[in-house]
Amino acid sequence: GWYPNEGTMATWHVYSDDGGATWAADALYDNIWLQGEPAGLVMYNRPYAASTMDGHYLFFSWIDTDLEGAEANTNPNIFVTGYDSEDNTYYEGGVQNVTALSLYWFSAFYGSMSQYVFSEDNGGPWDIEIPFVFTEYTVPGDPAAEMNFYYIKGFTIPMLVGIDSHEGLANFVVSQNSPNPAVNSTSILVTTETSGVINLRVNNILGQVVHQESVDNSALAHTFNVNVSNLESGIYFYTIEIGKSSITKKMLVK
């Protein structure tokens, strides 16, 4: 049989850029241990994937024990790395140990990552704050005892590219909405090389659709005038779709 052990397994990012016609796979990390039983319960590497709301940036996390002398995944840390889905590049800092040098170094049991991350534009790299949780045994060695849950606050990764997202080979251009921040209404100009239907969709930061409209355009340029007076102040994302291609940009509403 095949027994996963050091040097014989890895965490992989498997993805398709063409809807599943072809696939690619990138090795993220050579796992040291597959599993451990720190309190009589099996604990595996627990891989998770998270993203920004528009899917531009992806993040991959897992737990593993990199303690010298360990014989299984019994003293786990949380590890994470980032990926830019537009440029197909990984975070330049590589794999980060989230719990290193903290009070819970080598004890981030059952570490988990949120489905979505927080993102903030500071005029340079985007600061991405990634929510993590893990547990602590109140009675060491007793899996039936009460467990404490902890939230890791303030762990960030700086991603160097802007938030604009392009899906498919787009043969059109989408302007930044103006004014931005938007008050009452805002305009979005779309210029394209071919005539056809142009779809506009606006999502809030939770991913909910708050506005959508379509136009059958033959002039190769169209300006959407969007009424935002009924929207709450905050961050929104607008997506222009033509055929199978789309471009997503961020806008602010006052």
pLDDT of residue 235: 85
Residue 191 shares a structural domain with residue 123 = no
* HSE-CB for 69 with a 13 A CA cutoff: 1
37, 99: one domain: yes
Shared-domain flag, residues 149 and 176? no
In a shared domain, residues 97 and 201? no
Residues 146 and 200 in one domain: no
Q: Cβ contacts of residue 208 below 8 Å, gap of 6+? A: none
* CATH number, domain with residue 188: 2.60.40.3080
Into how many domains does the chain fold? Answer: 2
What's the whole-number mean pLDDT along residues 133-153?
A: 84
Tell whether 187 and 118 lie within a shared domain. no
Where in the sequence is the domain holding 234, given as residue range(s)?
165-253
Claim to verify: residue 33 and residue 66 sit in the same structural domain: yes
5 belongs to a structural domain? no
Could you tell me which residue, 126 or 156, shows the higher pLDDT? 156
Distance CA 152, CA 105 (A): 12
In the numeric block, which tokens belong to residue 65? 């024990």
* The last residue of a domain, from among 159, 176, 198: 159
pLDDT at 169 over 60: no
Integer Cα distance of 84 and 59 in angstroms: 9
The amino acid at 251: M
Last residue in a domain, options 159, 178, 206: 159
Q: Is the peptide bond before 38 cis (omega within 30 degrees of 0)?
A: no
> Which of 129, 159, 189 finishes a domain?
159
Lowest mean pLDDT among 34-48, 68-82, 92-106, 163-177: 163-177
Q: Assess if residue 3 is contained within a domain.
A: no
pLDDT at 1: 34
Q: Report whether pLDDT(98) > 90.
A: yes
Q: Which residue has the higher pLDDT, 135 or 122?
A: 135
Same domain, 184 and 202: yes
The string of pLDDT tens digits covering residues 225-251 is 999 999 999 889 898 988 877 788 888
Among the residue ranges 118-122, 163-167, 213-217, the one predicted with the least confidence is 163-167
